[in-house]
Amino acid sequence: VQLQASGGGLVHPGGSLRLSCAASGRIVSTFLAWFRQVPGEERDFVAAIRWATGYPFYADSARGRFTISKDPAGNLVYLQMNSLRPEDTAVYYCATHNIGNLYDRASYRNWGQGTQVTVSS
């Protein structure tokens, strides 16, 4: 399956964005996750969703501000980001879980092209 992230852009601090991750085929992985990466730094876990039930998992930095959800009608996953901060600026990627630690990027595959989120006044 191929994944494509979209929905990034430039937003002021305190603003909101909704990212979308579209899958080209049927998602068979147990989880689908969002990660983010700043140039020169590691790709960090943001949120994941258990595909069968929609149960979410969040990084501490995202909990309470971000919401991960899926479209029950198709192969789409969303990341609603509210109360955005400058430190949320990064390229955001979606990926499917393969095996291993849910929070570790090494456990994922099918990385899509990322979408840039810039939070700045």
Compute the average pLDDT of residues 97-112.
Answer: 93
Beta-carbon contacts of residue 63 (< 8 Å; ≥ 6 apart): none
* The pLDDT of residue 107 is above 80: yes
**pLDDT for 74 beyond 70:** no
Banded model confidence at residue 18, pLDDT cuts 50, 70, 90: very high
Q: What is the pLDDT of residues 22-70, one digit of tens each?
A: 998 888 888 999 999 999 999 999 999 998 899 999 999 999 999 999 9
Whether the Cβ atoms of residue 66 and residue 79 lie closer than 8 Å to each other: yes
Dihedral sign, CA of 111, 114, 48, 89?
Answer: positive
Average pLDDT over the chain reads 94
